[in-house]
Amino acid sequence: MSEKKKFKTEVKQLLDLVANALYTNKDIFLRELVANAADAIDKARFESITNSNLAREWEITIEPDKNNGILTISDNGAGMTKAEVIANIGTIAKSGTKAFLEALEQKGGSRAPELIGQFGVGFYSAFMIADKVVLETKRSGSDEPALRWISDGVSSYTIEASDRSEPGTSVSLHLKPDATGYLEEWRIRDVVKKYSDFIEHPVKLISKNKKNDDESTGAIETINSMKAIWLRSPKDVSDEDHANFMAHLDPFGGEPLLKIHLSAEGATEFKALLYVPSNAPLDLFNADRNKKGLHLYIRRVFITDECEELLPPYLRFVRGVVDSSDLPLNVSRETLQDNPVLSKINRNLTRKVLAELAKLKENDKEKYAAFHKEFGKTLKEGLHFDFENRDKLLDLIMFETLNRPPEEMVTLKEYADSMPSSQKAIYYLAGDNREEMEKSPKLEILRANGNDVLLMTDPIDEWVVQAVPEYNGTRLQAIGEDGLELEGDTAKEMEEKAEKAGKAHGKLLKALSKSLNGEVAEVRFSRLLAESACCLVRSQNEMTPRMRRILEAMGQTPPPESKPILELNPSHPLLEKLESLPEKTIDKGDGKIAEVAESLYYLALIAEGSPLPDPAKFTSNVASLLARTLEEPDGKKGKD
């Protein structure tokens, strides 16, 4: 005898919401039904511990029937009594439906309260693709007869007797015309592979399109791997297993450079298997890359690979899996709620990854250098945002240096340990490439003095230095900043020579500065230059021209720029020529002085890689100066 019951008002609201609005991806229905089947098997398996008569070979089956447009998902798990069906499906009383709808309305529908684990809600995702659902179930270990539940998901449902003899549950979906694609075997395999591949129990596809000895049931094929290697002991996972799983997570990541197992117990329980790839992906600096991260599973069921909260953005190159039953999710399992548990997992994972990278750096410097070449730029981003782990990150970043061969990199600690005791700062120079930087006039005194200099070639480096003004109490000093402190005999000699020249040629410096018409703050003799004629020095903490160009290329407006200082080499032959000019020429600042001043300023701009304000004028000045160098002392043109 059948009973027809009407849904309560709030249940009808929920059904409409689930079927038409809540889930953005219709594939979710199969994930939910397979997950429910696995839960039912787990419940029955637990009950069989105390009652061995209930034990059996556990399995989940999926059977497409193209002729009738029906997809059936079955399990041989716990099943339900009539009371359980009414409680869990008929009224959804335990799911807090009314509270759910009220909370959803208050939040504008953007976030939903946690309802995962309640059978009814996931079950109703079936109505996204079915206009009729028939459920047959028999309670394991109970003498209560089997029953059938039938509904179109609109206003009512029917409960009646069933002739099912085996314990468990089957859900038959009468598919809507636009959902018959879910009867295709390739699509079923694809969805199960994505969401349920690591379910502990076999998921079997029964195909009536294939022939075998038993045509009434069709061919049976297990379509999930059940190999959740992150739940196994690390010693039981082979390199081949890791390589295959890494390829599953990221086909372009290459061999895993690091394999990181993590099992957390206590207040927050989760398991994780993380990989640091060998190769950086092409989209590493694509904004969308942050959205795709670790794969989140709950009890082996895939939830999402778009969970940015699991790791900070600067570790976005890490691939892997996190499996936790502690994380609260919304009803669709598609969006994680803000929750302190997630922050705890993030902190645990971040600390573990940084610790493993530090271990790699200490044990295999060459291998770590290869990692840093691929991912060092992203690692450096953390210095601006992750204050909690800044000291760890400072010990992980590396740079080339002036006194070491190209490609050989050192950490800040290694540089600091090799500094002379008299050196007061960690010297660095930022530029586009090493070859150009090595020719910088600003390095001449340091090279002569024997000082080493960090060569920062990554565009992010100068941005990083703004967040890290010192390392272990030693400040980072940009070469080319005013106030550079140098020790040693060579440096002392250069300083004395600059000071002496400044006193002797004050009028000349004043005339050159006046000729530049406010382009520079002052013209003075340099302590930096041993060979080059000139260079530009900028105020401490002033943004470099290179950093300004990077910001402008990113569409950002840099802060106002202060005028640089033009420094001249007191030992350069050009100074002798300038000294030989008549005093009245220097006093008046005539055309020759103006041409020389502007040419020196432009040469200094070229040396630091900055664009020229007026290239045509510079070309004209150089041509005029060249012409005069070809004149003989008596004013006649030189002969060919």
Res. 468: pLDDT tops 80 = yes
Tens digit of pLDDT for each residue in 177-194?
999 999 999 999 999 998
> Is the pLDDT at 98 greater than 50, yes or no?
no
pLDDT of res. 375: 92
Does 413 score more than 90 pLDDT? yes
**Averaged over 314-328, what is the pLDDT?**
85
Mean pLDDT of 424-439: 88
Burial class, 302, CB count within 10 angstroms (exposed 0-12 / middle 13-18 / buried 19+): buried
Q: Return the percentage of the chain with pLDDT > 70, whole number.
A: 84
Q: Give the model's pLDDT for residue 485.
A: 75
Residue 635 confidence class, pLDDT cut points 50, 70, 90? very low
Higher per-residue pLDDT: 427 or 112: 427
Q: Which one has a higher pLDDT value, 37 or 109?
A: 37
Q: CATH second-level architecture of 229-359?
A: 2-Layer Sandwich (3.30)
Backbone angle region of 218, left / alpha / beta, with phi > 0 → left and psi within -120 to 50 → alpha: left
- Residue-wise pLDDT for 130-162, tens only, equals 999 999 999 998 999 999 999 988 878 899 999
Mean pLDDT across the stretch 335-339?
Answer: 59
Q: So what CATH class is 3-222?
A: alpha beta
| Amino acid type, 369 | A
Q: How many whole angstroms separate alpha carbon 413 and alpha carbon 395?
A: 7
pLDDT for residue 18 is more than 70: no
Q: For a pLDDT cut of 90, what percent of the chain falls above it? A: 32
The backbone torsions φ and ψ at residue 207, rounded to the nearest 5 degrees and listed phi first, read -105, 120
User: What is the pLDDT, as a whole number, of residue 590?
Assistant: 63
Longest alpha-carbon distance in the chain: 128
The rounded mean pLDDT for the chain is 82
For residue 608, the model assigns a pLDDT of 83
**Looking at the chain, which residues constitute the CATH 3.30.230.80 domain(s)?**
229-359
Distance CA 534, CA 603 (A): 7
Sign of CA pseudo-dihedral 192, 195, 196, 197: positive
What residues does CATH 3.30.565.10 cover in the chain? 3-222
Q: What pLDDT was estimated at residue 409?
A: 93
Is the pLDDT assigned to residue 212 strictly greater than 70?
Answer: no
Question: Which pLDDT score, from 0 to 100, does residue 67 have?
Answer: 93
Q: Which is nearest to 41 in space by CA: 55, 62, 22?
A: 55
pLDDT of residue 175: 96
Instruction: Give the model confidence (pLDDT) of 563-606 as tens digits.
Output: 889 999 988 888 777 777 766 666 655 667 888 888 899 998 98
Q: What are phi and psi of 638, to 5 degrees?
A: -70, 150
Q: How much is the average pLDDT of 293-302?
A: 83
β-bridge mates for residue 399, sequence order: 410
